[in-house]
């Protein structure tokens, strides 16, 4: 069976399943040209990278405190039951059998050459589904994933890189556990891959590049740990300083935090891709927007913590995937019947020069 017929068959199945389950259409989004791109007439190859925290299905409410208190015998539930405190999100939208269809649709509507994911606790599903479209992947779980503390879990969550074998050759891959400055391992990881464009026989390696994905420590009060994790990752990436570099991830850090400043002022000359959308170089107002149930009432959380960083040399930014408006997202925010994660995907078209 040809590649195109395999893809067509899978897309037909995906559409049929979505119709049968009466799923709502996904949020509409489009790519926006970056002004600076027009000033560079280079006709080099274009590389599309997508970054997305897909929301682990096995996330639970206050699972850390339950474990610390050795209450593992107490009731634990998966996200699909609504116990992750997405109190305004319909249970149908959190059901994995529904959510997985929207996750695939969001990825396949944009067909990135490289897909960087966090909170992946169903890696086999992504790998087995996307192989129909020529993708292969590398997955690295957290050392002590909270998803494993959930009954009937689907495995540990972690970071993953999937890439199009039609366009890219994986020449090197490494997976690391991020460390504190003392050398102590943390529970966060990174996957680092070096690629070469297929059909590129240049001995100058102008079309070699490195992609790293990470997911830094969550929650308030861990600013210093995120800073140290970021410092460790940048130090590790020093070996790739001679080629274009992309760093994707959920940093759990807003632009005012020290780890953001660390990346922005690193010796790599990193730029956050969404700052290209305005002359002021500001980040978008949100990459995640959710409402959780907490003591004393519901709490709305709207902020920018997800990024695609890139080096300046050898890269020209052509366009980025725009974020939906608050009105389009809806008053109950994310996840929802029209979007399967509490984080929006980021995507960008880069031209390798």
Per-residue pLDDT tens digits for 18-33: 999 999 999 999 999 9
What's the domain range around 267?
3-352
Helix (H) or strand (E) holding 235: helix 223-236
Looking at the predicted structure, is the pLDDT value of residue 50 above 90? Answer: yes
> Residue 38: what pLDDT?
47
Looking at the predicted structure, is the pLDDT value of residue 229 above 90? Answer: yes
CA–CA distance, 225 with 266 (Å, rounded to integer): 18
Enumerate the β-bridge partners of residue 214. Answer: 190, 249
> Residue 2: what pLDDT?
52
Q: Tell me the CB-side half-sphere exposure of residue 294, using CA atoms within 13 A.
A: 7
* Lowest mean pLDDT across 1-15, 23-37, 256-270: 1-15
Burial of 159 (0-12, 13-18, 19+ CB in 10 A): buried
DSSP state of 312: S
Number of domains the chain contains: 1
Q: What is the CATH number of the domain that holds 232?
A: 3.60.10.10
* Lowest mean pLDDT across 116-120, 134-138, 217-221, 290-294: 290-294
* Lowest mean pLDDT across 36-45, 69-78, 253-262: 69-78
Better-scored residue on pLDDT, 91 or 305: 305
CA–CA distance, 163 with 211 (Å, rounded to integer): 10
> Residue 83: what pLDDT?
46
When the pLDDT of each residue in the chain is averaged and rounded to a whole number, the result is 90
Q: Cβ(91)–Cβ(80) under 8 Å? A: yes
> Residue 69: what pLDDT?
46
Q: 201 falls in which pLDDT band (50, 70, 90)?
A: low
Looking at the predicted structure, is the pLDDT value of residue 205 above 90? Answer: no
Our measurement of the distance from residue 59's CA atom to the centroid of its chain's CA atoms, rounded to an integer in Å, reads 16
> Residue 253: what pLDDT?
99
pLDDT, average across residues 81-106: 86
């Amino acid at each position: 069976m040809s590649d195109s017929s395999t893809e067509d068959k899978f897309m037909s199945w995906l559409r049929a399943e979505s119709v049968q389950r009466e799923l709502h259409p996904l949020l509409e989004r489009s790519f926006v040209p970056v002004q600076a791109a027009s000033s560079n007439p280079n006709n080099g190859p274009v590389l599309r990278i997508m970054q997305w925290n897909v929301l682990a299905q096995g996330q639970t409410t206050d699972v850390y405190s339950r474990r610390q208190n050795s209450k593992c015998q107490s009731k634990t539930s998966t996200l699909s039951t609504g116990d992750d405190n997405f109190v305004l999100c319909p249970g149908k939208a959190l059901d994995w059998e529904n959510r997985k269809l929207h996750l695939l649709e969001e990825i396949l509507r944009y067909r990135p050459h490289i897909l960087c994911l966090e909170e992946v606790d169903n890696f086999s599903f992504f790998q087995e589904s996307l192989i129909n479209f020529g993708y292969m992947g590398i997955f690295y779980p957290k050392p002590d994933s909270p998803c494993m503390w959930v009954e009937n879990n689907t495995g540990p969550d972690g970071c993953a890189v999937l890439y199009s074998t039609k366009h890219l050759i994986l020449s090197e891959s490494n997976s690391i556990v991020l460390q504190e400055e003392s050398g102590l391992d943390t529970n966060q990881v990174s996957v680092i891959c070096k690629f070469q464009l297929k059909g590129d026989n240049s001995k100058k390696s102008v079309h070699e590049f490195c992609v790293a994905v990470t997911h830094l420590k969550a929650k308030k009060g861990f600013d210093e740990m995120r800073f140290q994790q970021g410092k460790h990752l940048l130090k590790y990436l020093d070996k790739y300083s001679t080629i274009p570099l992309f760093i994707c991830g959920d940093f759990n850090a807003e632009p005012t935090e020290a780890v953001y400043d660390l990346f922005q002022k690193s010796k790599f000359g990193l730029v956050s891709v969404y700052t290209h959308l305005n002359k002021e170089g500001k980040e978008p107002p949100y990459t995640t927007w959710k409402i959780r149930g907490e003591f004393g009432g519901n709490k709305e959380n709207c902020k920018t913590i997800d990024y695609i960083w890139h080096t300046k040399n050898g890269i020209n930014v052509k366009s980025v995937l725009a974020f939906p408006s608050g009105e389009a997202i809806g008053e109950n925010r994310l996840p929802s019947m029209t979007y399967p994660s509490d984080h929006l995907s980021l995507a960008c078209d880069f031209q390798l020069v």
